[in-house]
Amino acid sequence: MYTDSWNDTIIALATPQGVGAIGVIRLSGSKAIEIVNTLFVKKDLSKQASHTLHVGILKDMDAVIDEVVVSLFISPHSYTGENVVEISCHGSAFIQQKIIDACIEKGARLAKPGEFTQRAFLNGKLDLTQAEAVADLIASNTEASRKTALQNMRGGFSGVLKNLREQLLKFSALIELELDFSQEDVEFADRTQFYELITSAEQITRNLLQSFKLGNVIRNGVQVAIIGKPNAGKSTLLNTLLNENRAIVSDIAGTTRDTIEEVINIEGILFRLIDTAGIRTSDNEIESIGVEKSLEKMRNADIVIYMFDCAHETKENLLHEQEQLTSACKNHLLIGNKLDLMNADDIIKKFDGLDILFISAKEHTHVNLLKKRLVEEVVTGNIETENVVVTNARHYEALQKINDALIDIRKGMDNKIPGDLIALDIRRCLHYLGEITGLITNEDQLDYIFSKFCIGK
Ligand SMILES: Nc1nc2c(c(=O)[nH]1)N(C=O)[C@@H](CNc1ccc(C(=O)N[C@@H](CCC(=O)O)C(=O)O)cc1)CN2
Ligand SMILES: Nc1nc2c(ncn2[C@@H]2O[C@H](COP(=O)(O)OP(=O)(O)OP(=O)(O)O)[C@@H](O)[C@H]2O)c(=O)[nH]1
Ligand SMILES: [Mg+2]
């Protein structure tokens, strides 16, 4: 039976499927150079230096396939750490397939999703968080997500963890040594220094855990549901924010029936805007379904924009709505619309004491203030991507366990518990640190992580 193995030489298209100016096919493995050499006619590739380019013709049997550029990366100096050969051919889907087929014929096999990066990990070129960041980088679609992924790919996050781990290891070695001398009642590990280390480690993990909120925003965007009574101007606001006539606007109450979702990028953060059906009790079955959907979107949203028409809303009713919003959703903003129809002084008097942003969706008045408010709701200050941000749920879970272990160590020391128990907690802490970076792994978990990559990465 044939099974895929780490010794195989793998091949995949590295550029997107379909037609392009050029297509890049990548091979990795001990036979990569040998395989391409049998097709490349101009010179002997096995005699060439690493990181060199070679223009020539690929020939299968006697038939010319294409004129290509071949790049060589000789082990261990490559992305995967193995021999890597890249073939840049003309970007026809047909030519690309023909070259891949010819290489498979000569002994390569198709790569599985993420297999190039998985090999880079297994060969120690990247740790697990860096490999995961490669996938994030490919998926990045905003400045913030690109920056955090790039920083983590270059070892930002794992650098912090590695540092922690090294310091903990030092103490754990000293404490374990004490255990060997348990009869003699000696202390090799300076308790004051160790206590300081644990306290600062706790602070570091706590900051990392807190950064996950921002990490989630950077990675997944922010769900914003626009909610309110019919005719408040919800669809007008959506259109204004998008700068296009996406949703139907009319003075007929109950215009929007189905929810409309669109994405906007404000200051590098993705906001997923959801325009909903105006909320009221209706005899119309379709409208009622729409209202039900609005309520569901409201409950799931990260931020609810509650929009009302200044002229048609009373303060008492608004206070009542506010109470309901507070219990039904995570976070809401009160937005008073149709400012252009009212006198500013009258409005302030009418809604005195409530935290409301007044806008005119139609006239675009104060819409920039609303955008600013949205950003402020998710980040305090600028997005400090210079700091390490945790964007990955797997890392978050392990960090929680690390933080728990650190708290146990600190409490244990406060209560003067014996060294062997402290040693256990330190080991637990080291275990989870190793789990994040991939020092400690199980194969299923690895397969799962890399299977989410695209083929060719
Ligand atoms: N053509 C091409 N472009 C690419 C990639 C690739 O694999 N091929 N990459 C794939 O993701 C990214 C770049 N990543 C790379 C990482 C390491 C090495 C490499 O050759 N490393 C050697 C030599 C380093 C050096 O000379 O400084 C090494 O690590 O020893 C190449 C690409 C983006 N662009
Ligand atoms: N004067 C004024 N009119 C506005 C403003 N915003 C919206 N309107 C008008 O209010 C009416 C209703 O606007 P829509 O955006 O359709 O209201 P909606 O909240 O989406 O209504 P439903 O979809 O029925 O729930 C339209 O005639 C808009 O032109 C505003 O800021 N000023
Ligand atoms: Mg509408």
Task: Check whether 380 has a pLDDT greater than 80.
Answer: no
Domains and CATH numbers, the chain: 4-126 (3.30.1360.120), 135-217+392-438 (1.20.120.430), 221-378 (3.40.50.300)
Task: Check whether 457 has a pLDDT greater than 70.
Answer: yes
Three-class HEC string of 413-448: HHCCCCHHHHHHHHHHHHHHHHHHHCCCCCHHHHHH
Residue 293, annotated ligand binder?
no
Task: Check whether 397 has a pLDDT greater than 50.
Answer: yes
> What's the pLDDT at 153?
94
> What's the pLDDT at 448?
86
Atom of ligand 2 nearest to the CA of 251: 27
Task: Check whether 1 has a pLDDT greater than 50.
Answer: no
Residue 253, annotated ligand binder?
yes
Distance CA 65, CA 168 (A): 58
Per the listing, tokens 């990559």 go with: 453
Across residues 273-293, what is the average pLDDT?
89
Any ligand 1 atom below 6 A from CB of 73: yes
Angle between helices 191-220 and 393-414 in degrees, nearest 10: 160
**pLDDT per residue over 131-168, tens digit each?**
999 999 999 988 889 999 999 999 999 999 999 999 99
Across residues 283-306, what is the average pLDDT?
90
Ligand number, closest to the Cα atom of 252: 2
The two three-digit tokens of residue 105, written as one number? 């014929």
Residue from 248, 341, 362, 366 whose mutation best tests the ligand 2 pocket (most atoms within 8 A of CB):
362
Across residues 358-369, what is the average pLDDT?
97
Residue 86, annotated ligand binder?
yes
Across residues 253-260, what is the average pLDDT?
93
Q: What is the pTM of this model?
A: 0.79
The interface predicted TM-score of the complex, written ipTM, equals 0.78
The two three-digit tokens of residue 219, written as one number? 């990675």
Using the mean position of ligand 1's atoms as its centre, give its distance from the Cα of residue 300 in Å.
42
**pLDDT per residue over 194-214, tens digit each?**
999 999 999 999 999 999 988
Per the listing, tokens 């202390």 go with: 187
Across residues 177-206, what is the average pLDDT?
85
439 contact partners, CB below 8 Å, separation of at least 6:
127, 433
How high does pLDDT run on average in the chain? Answer: 92
Cβ < 5 A residues, ion ligand 3: 234-235, 255-256
Distance CA 272, CA 387 (A): 25
